[in-house]
Homo-oligomer: A and B are copies of this chain.
Amino acid sequence: MSEQSPLDLAEGDPFGPHNLPYGVFTTPAEPERRRIGVRIGGYVLDAGAAALALGSPYAALLDRPTLNPLLAAGRTAWRDVRRALTAWVTVPAHRADVEPLLHPLDDVTLHLPYEVADYVDFYASEHHATNVGRMFRPDSEPLTPNWKHLPIGYHGRAGTVVVSGTEVVRPRGQRKAPADPAPVFGPSVKLDIEAEVAFLVGTPTAQGSPVPLADFREHVFGLSLLNDWSARDIQAWEYVPLGPFLGKSFATSVSAWVTPLEALDAARTAPPARDVPPLPYLDDSADEEPGGFDIRISVAVNGHVIAEPPFAGMYWTAAQQLAHMTVNGASLRTGDLFASGTVSGPELHQRGSLLELTWNGRDPLALPSGTRTFLEDGDTVTLTAWSPGPDGTRVGLGEVTGRISPSPGG
Question: Does A250 lie at the interface of the complex (its beta carbon under 8 Å from any beta carbon of B)?
Answer: yes
Copies of this chain present: 2
Chain B residues closer than 8 Å to A182, beta-carbon distance: 149
Contact A160 B331 (CB under 8 A): yes
- Specify which of A153, A158, A328 lies most central, judged by the most chain B CB atoms within 10 Å of its CB: A328
The listed residue (B152, B153, B240, B336) touching A146 by CB distance below 8 A is B240
Contact B152 A155 (CB under 8 A): no
| Given A158-B117, A159-B333, A238 and B152 contact (CB-CB distance below 8 Å) | yes
Contact B160 A330 (CB under 8 A): yes
Chain B residues closer than 8 Å to A279, beta-carbon distance: 174, 183, 185
Nearest-neighbour CB distance to chain B for A245, whole angstroms, equals: 6
Chain B residues closer than 8 Å to A281, beta-carbon distance: 185
Nearest-neighbour CB distance to chain B for A355, whole angstroms, equals: 14
* Alpha-carbon gap, A356 to B407, bound state (A): 42
* Alpha-carbon gap, A325 to B144, bound state (A): 28
Question: Does A1 lie at the interface of the complex (its beta carbon under 8 Å from any beta carbon of B)?
Answer: no
Contact B159 A336 (CB under 8 A): yes
**Which of A17-25, A31-39, A165-173 faces chain B?**
A165-173
Contact B328 A154 (CB under 8 A): no
| Given A158-B118, A159-B118, A183-B149, A329 and B207 contact (CB-CB distance below 8 Å) | no
Question: Does A150 lie at the interface of the complex (its beta carbon under 8 Å from any beta carbon of B)?
Answer: yes
Contact A160 B207 (CB under 8 A): yes
The listed residue (B146, B183, B239) touching A243 by CB distance below 8 A is B239
Chain B residues closer than 8 Å to A324, beta-carbon distance: 246
- Specify which of A118, A159, A238 lies most central, judged by the most chain B CB atoms within 10 Å of its CB: A159
- Specify which of A173, A208, A279, A333 lies most central, judged by the most chain B CB atoms within 10 Å of its CB: A208
* Alpha-carbon gap, A314 to B378, bound state (A): 41
Question: Does A404 lie at the interface of the complex (its beta carbon under 8 Å from any beta carbon of B)?
Answer: no
Chain B residues closer than 8 Å to A172, beta-carbon distance: 210, 327-329
Question: Does A393 lie at the interface of the complex (its beta carbon under 8 Å from any beta carbon of B)?
Answer: no
Chain B residues closer than 8 Å to A234, beta-carbon distance: 328
Contact A328 B171 (CB under 8 A): yes
Question: Does A241 lie at the interface of the complex (its beta carbon under 8 Å from any beta carbon of B)?
Answer: yes
Question: Does A217 lie at the interface of the complex (its beta carbon under 8 Å from any beta carbon of B)?
Answer: no
* Alpha-carbon gap, A63 to B116, bound state (A): 27
| Given A172-B328, A279-B185, A328-B171, A242 and B207 contact (CB-CB distance below 8 Å) | no
| Given A169-B208, A239-B243, A242-B244, A330 and B146 contact (CB-CB distance below 8 Å) | no
Chain A, 246-286, CB within 8 A of any chain B CB:
246-247, 249-251, 279-281
Given contact pairs A117-B159, A249-B328, enumerate 15 new A-B contacts (beta carbons under 8 Å). Answer: A118-B159, A136-B241, A149-B176, A150-B237, A152-B241, A152-B242, A157-B330, A159-B330, A169-B208, A172-B327, A174-B279, A231-B328, A246-B325, A246-B327, A251-B329
28 CB contacts below 8 A, A to B, read A117-B159, A123-B242, A146-B174, A150-B174, A150-B237, A152-B242, A153-B242, A154-B154, A154-B155, A154-B244, A154-B245, A155-B156, A159-B330, A159-B331, A159-B332, A169-B207, A171-B329, A172-B329, A174-B279, A183-B279, A185-B280, A239-B241, A239-B242, A241-B243, A246-B328, A249-B330, A250-B328, A329-B407
